[in-house]
């Protein structure tokens, strides 16, 4: 229960700023990533497109079409040369400079796939199914490297560690499992959110911590080595729907159902730095669906059910 002092402190952390705003998508924003140089921002959407936004000119530079269905995830290589985008049907490879499509991955599971995560500089894709299976795919290979079952329900969330040595899965019934790559050996199984769907997962840059959000107003952090609870982040008004770590692991951003973003300093006792009222549109219900930090940790991009992409300055007040 928040006391009066805590309420005053929390209110003082609310940040009012005018973000860079990009409009044009026709459906939910599903994934975001900045280029390494910070000049461009890519956004994936359920409208079957990826758009590349120029942050200086504040315009769309490219629109990547040709996806058969919702785009679930995207990844830009560190040299800013290639962009990978994935749907439930497969992974597409694009030349970032020209926006030309250069390769299309062999078919994934199609209608059985509920979520997709891309990692390893685009060389890896993981699909989570409605059939209770997870498949690990290597770019250019027609069949999955691994097929893992035993899930109690739909796989609803995925995360690949930045070093691509492990990945995590979450289900509609609140179970989280952590696996090693490339072996597929299970490292931990956690009854994280009993009977509450896992909505978001994100592994820290050092691979040691898994952040999770579900149909609760608390984000929970787990030790990836053994699955033990490491920390809880409280203070959300809505359920936690999106997560992102900064590139150096200093910050964790947590997005919630009613459009706000909470920014935490994870190197300072998980301190709440600020709250950004991001995607409310004057009404409730506009969940934050995607978050991404720029590589220099100075900006945070957010996307939502409102179909809008926003870019925020995140310097601590």
DSSP 5: H
Q: What is the pLDDT of residue 61?
A: 96
Tell me the residue length of the chain: 317
Give the three-class secondary structure for 220: strand
Is the dihedral angle over the CA atoms 216, 266, 126, 259 positive or is it negative? Answer: positive
Q: What is the pLDDT of residue 228?
A: 97
Quickly count: other Cβ atoms within 10 Å of residue 283's Cβ: 9
Spatial distance between the Cα atoms of 225 and 99, rounded to a whole number of angstroms: 40
Strands 91-95 and 134-138, how do they pair?
unpaired
Q: What is the pLDDT of residue 261?
A: 94
Spatial distance between the Cα atoms of 110 and 121, rounded to a whole number of angstroms: 23
**Angle at CA of residue 145, ends 143 and 146, nearest 5°:** 115
Q: What is the pLDDT of residue 3?
A: 38
- pLDDT in 10s for each residue of the chain, 317 residues: 333 333 334 434 555 578 999 999 999 999 999 999 999 999 999 999 999 999 999 999 999 999 999 999 999 999 999 999 999 999 999 999 999 999 888 689 888 999 999 999 989 999 999 999 999 999 888 899 999 999 989 999 999 999 999 999 999 999 999 999 999 999 999 999 999 999 999 999 999 999 999 999 999 999 999 999 999 999 898 899 999 999 999 999 999 998 899 999 999 999 999 999 888 765 555 789 999 999 999 999 999 999 999 999 987 76
Quickly count: other Cβ atoms within 10 Å of residue 152's Cβ: 11
Quickly count: other Cβ atoms within 10 Å of residue 274's Cβ: 19
Cα 163 from chain centroid (whole Å): 16
- Is the separation of the CB atoms in 201 and 222 below 8 Å? no
Q: What is the pLDDT of residue 1?
A: 36
Q: What is the pLDDT of residue 12?
A: 41
Half-sphere exposure of 261 (CA within 13 A, CB side): 30
């Amino acid at each position: 229960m928040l006391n009066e002092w805590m309420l005053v402190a929390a209110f003082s952390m609310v940040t009012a700023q005018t973000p860079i705003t990009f409009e044009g998508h026709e459906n939910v924003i599903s994934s975001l990533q900045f280029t390494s140089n910070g000049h461009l921002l890519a956004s994936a959407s359920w409208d079957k497109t990826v758009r590349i936004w120029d942050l200086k000119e504040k315009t769309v530079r490219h629109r990547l079409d040709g996806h058969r269905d919702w785009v679930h995830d995207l990844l830009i290589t560190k040299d800013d040369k290639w962009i990978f985008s994935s749907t439930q049907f497969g992974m597409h490879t694009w030349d970032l400079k020209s926006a030309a499509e250069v390769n299309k991955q062999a078919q994934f599971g199609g209608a059985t796939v509920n979520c997709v995560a891309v990692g390893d500089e685009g060389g890896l894709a993981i699909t989570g199914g409605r059939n209770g299976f997870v498949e690990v795919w290597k770019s250019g290979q027609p069949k999955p490297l691994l097929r893992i079952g035993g899930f109690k329900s739909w796989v609803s969330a995925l995360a690949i560690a930045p070093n691509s040595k492990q990945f995590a899965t979450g289900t509609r019934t609140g179970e989280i499992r952590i696996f090693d790559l490339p072996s597929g050996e299970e490292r931990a199984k956690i009854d994280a959110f009993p009977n509450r769907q896992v909505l978001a997962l994100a592994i820290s840059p050092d691979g040691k911590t898994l952040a999770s959000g579900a149909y609760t107003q608390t984000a929970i952090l787990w030790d990836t080595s053994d699955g033990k609870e490491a920390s809880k982040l409280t203070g959300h008004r809505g359920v936690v729907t999106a997560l992102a770590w900064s590139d150096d692991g200093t910050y964790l951003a947590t997005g919630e159902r009613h459009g706000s973003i909470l920014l935490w300093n994870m190197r300072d006792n998980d301190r709440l730095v600020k709250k950004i009222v991001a995607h409310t549109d004057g009404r409730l219900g506009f969940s934050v669906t995607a978050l991404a930090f720029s590589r220099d940790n100075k900006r945070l991009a957010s996307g939502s059910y409102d179909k809008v992409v926003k870019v925020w300055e995140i310097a601590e007040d």
